[in-house]
Amino acid sequence: MKIIAYGIRDDEKPYLDQWSKDQGIEVKAVSELLDEDTVSLAEGYDGAVVYQQKPYTASVLDKLASYGIKSLSLRNVGVDNVDADAIKRNGFTVTNVPAYSPEAIAELTVTQLMRLLRRTPVFDKKQAAGNLMWAPDIADELGHMTVGIVATGRIGRAAMRIYKGFGAKVIAYDVFHNPELEKEGIYVDSMDELYAKADVISLHAPATKENEHLLNDDAFSKMKDGVWILNPARGALIDTDALIRALDNGKVAGVALDVYEDEVGIFNTDFGSFDAIPDERLKNLMKRDNVLVTPHVAFYTRTAVKNMVQFALNNNKQLIETGTAENVVKF
Ligand code: COI
């Protein structure tokens, strides 16, 4: 058995090498992402392990299938960038890693909320300028707030545990109700109810056609004045222009974004200077004291990276050997 792994970074390589040695299976690691230019490297392999934020296009998937590869294992959880029609047409079986570390995402989400509530970015900036005054940067306390969780999958539930640890009241909206949370009476009946009750809105939903721009002008208008928004999930969930309007008119007190709707080609790139970042809307957001942007790094912990590599390789091996595996994605 031979596996090719695309887009392997230096921080992933030791985990990949260890797995290959332990399993006695050849794994070819390439640093390039899977695209038109690199798909031919997969010829002669039995399966491919991949992770990237740029799209897995129909033409790349068609080529991969023409080399006889039908086992595709993603190292991440989201599948919104995979061409579902090409997957079905070519008879691929795709796995993802749904739980490499929900806590990694949850911890950054709450960290950023706490930074916003305690105004630490403002104090850092003031102190760098020699200003050690308190006022006017008085803080807010999470323990007195209601947090509205959007989607109660693994990450939403991990975030919920941390919010509860701070003493916050937690409510949630999801079309699927987790039986344990149902018993606790955590669910509200609609997003409108969540908007009306939440002081903090914490997004943990995957991106689908149905929830594109879930947070738009209409949604913001139904929220409490001075709401805090957290998006460590998918950029498409927020209409960025509507968010900018809601920040400008004070409806939104602050926002932490680990994702952004136009992030492909922007995040995980070093442009050398702030001015050189080629996205004016993103820079508009980044310049504000009450906006925190991180470049899709919530997942980026040692625990998560190790699990992403090793779970994806296990999935791919199982797919090649048996045609199926834990974590097969339904398209
Ligand atoms: C995912 O797992 O789908 C993520 O969004 C994290 C990714 C950047 C590795």
- The ipTM (two decimal places) reads 0.94
Give the atom of ligand 1 at the shortest distance from the alpha carbon of 299: 6
pLDDT of residue 106: 98
Look at residue 47 and give its three-state secondary structure: strand
Which residue has the least CA distance to atom 7 on ligand 1?
A: 76
Do residues 228 and 205 make contact, with C-beta atoms less than 8 angstroms apart?
Answer: no
Tell me how many degrees the CA angle 203-156-76 measures, rounded to the nearest 5: 90
CA distance 24 to 272: 42
98 Cβ inside 6 Å of ligand 1: no
* CATH 3.40.50.720 domain span(s) along the chain: 2-100+302-322, 102-293
299 Cβ inside 6 Å of ligand 1: yes
Give the atom of ligand 1 at the shortest distance from the alpha carbon of 304: 9
Tokens at 294, concatenated: 């991180």
* pLDDT mean across residues, the chain: 98
pLDDT of residue 154: 97
The pLDDT tens digits of the residues spanning 125-173 come to 999 999 999 999 999 999 999 999 999 999 999 999 999 999 999 999 9
List, in sequence order, every beta strand (DSSP E) within the chain: 2-5, 26-29, 47-50, 71-74, 93-95, 146-150, 169-173, 200-203, 227-231, 252-257, 291-293
Which residue has the least CA distance to atom 5 on ligand 1?
A: 78
Which residues form the catalytic set?
234, 263, 296
Do residues 52 and 79 make contact, with C-beta atoms less than 8 angstroms apart?
Answer: no
The pLDDT tens digits of the residues spanning 195-225 come to 999 999 999 999 999 999 999 999 999 999 9
Confidence of residue 46 (pLDDT cuts 50, 70, 90): very high
76 Cβ inside 6 Å of ligand 1: yes
Percent of the chain with pLDDT over 90: 99
- Mean pLDDT over 231-239 rounds to 98
The pLDDT tens digits of the residues spanning 99-109 come to 999 999 999 99
Ligand 1 mean position, distance from CA 35 (Å): 18
Give the atom of ligand 1 at the shortest distance from the alpha carbon of 78: 3
102-293 has CATH 3.40.50.720 classification: yes
CA distance 229 to 109: 10
Domain 2-100+302-322, CATH? 3.40.50.720
